[in-house]
Structures are given as structure tokens and as C-alpha cells.
């Protein structure tokens, strides 16, 4: 069946057309509700990698390790990776002891 350059018209009773529109609107509403519900269940990580912390607060490794050795930020070492508590990002900007 070749559909190039052809136009097909379908005649429907008005009631059927309105019913199709109503069903499509219900489907769209359900999809939007599902997407909104999916976003509300996102879980924020408790710890973030050190590189993500440095990028978020715009510092380099030297300053980061100064903060770690000075016990200014809370960290967790897991195997060979260093993680920072996620709340430390906001504390970095709000705490006056950080320079």
C-alpha cells in the first residue's frame, strides 16, 4: 500500500469523535500524573563524590584537601574513593568559618 501523495478522509459521527478526544485527554492526564509522581520519588544521595563537591563549590583539589585536613568538612572514605556529606555544599556557603 503506497500512501505517498494520497489523502484519506474518514467520516465519523460527532459523538465518536468527541469520545476519542475525551479518551486521548484522559490518557494525557494519566501520563502527566505518572511523570509527576515519578519525579517526586527521586532520592537525593546522602554522600556525593569529592569531585562533585569541588565542582559545586568551585574549588580545586589543594583547597579541598586543606578543608579535609583542617576538619572543616565531613568526609567518608570508602575503598579508594572519598565522599563528602551532601549537606556540606550548603554549609560551605552559609558557614562563616569557611574562607
Q: Is the pLDDT of residue 95 over 70?
A: yes
- 56-to-8, 13, 39, 53, 93 alpha-carbon distances in Å: 56, 59, 22, 5, 11
- Name the nearest CA neighbour of 72 among 63, 81, 80: 63
Place of cell 552559609: 94
In eight-state DSSP terms, residue 84 is E
Confidence at 25, pLDDT banded by 50, 70, 90:
very high
pLDDT at 40: 58
The mean pLDDT value for 77-83 works out to 92
**Mean pLDDT value across the chain:** 86
Q: Using one digit for the tens of pLDDT, what is the confidence trace for 51-78?
A: 999 999 999 999 999 999 988 898 999 9
Q: Is the pLDDT of residue 17 over 80?
A: yes
Amino acid at each position: 500500500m503506497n500512501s505517498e501523495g494520497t489523502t484519506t478522509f474518514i467520516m465519523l459521527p460527532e459523538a465518536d469523535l468527541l469520545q476519542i478526544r475525551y479518551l486521548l485527554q484522559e490518557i494525557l492526564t494519566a501520563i502527566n500524573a505518572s511523570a509527576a509522581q515519578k519525579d517526586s520519588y527521586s532520592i537525593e544521595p546522602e554522600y556525593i563524590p569529592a569531585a562533585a563537591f569541588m565542582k559545586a563549590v568551585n574549588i580545586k583539589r589543594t583547597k579541598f584537601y586543606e578543608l579535609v585536613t583542617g576538619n572543616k568538612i565531613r568526609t567518608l572514605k570508602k575503598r579508594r574513593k572519598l565522599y563528602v556529606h551532601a549537606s556540606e555544599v550548603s554549609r560551605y556557603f552559609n558557614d562563616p568559618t569557611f574562607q
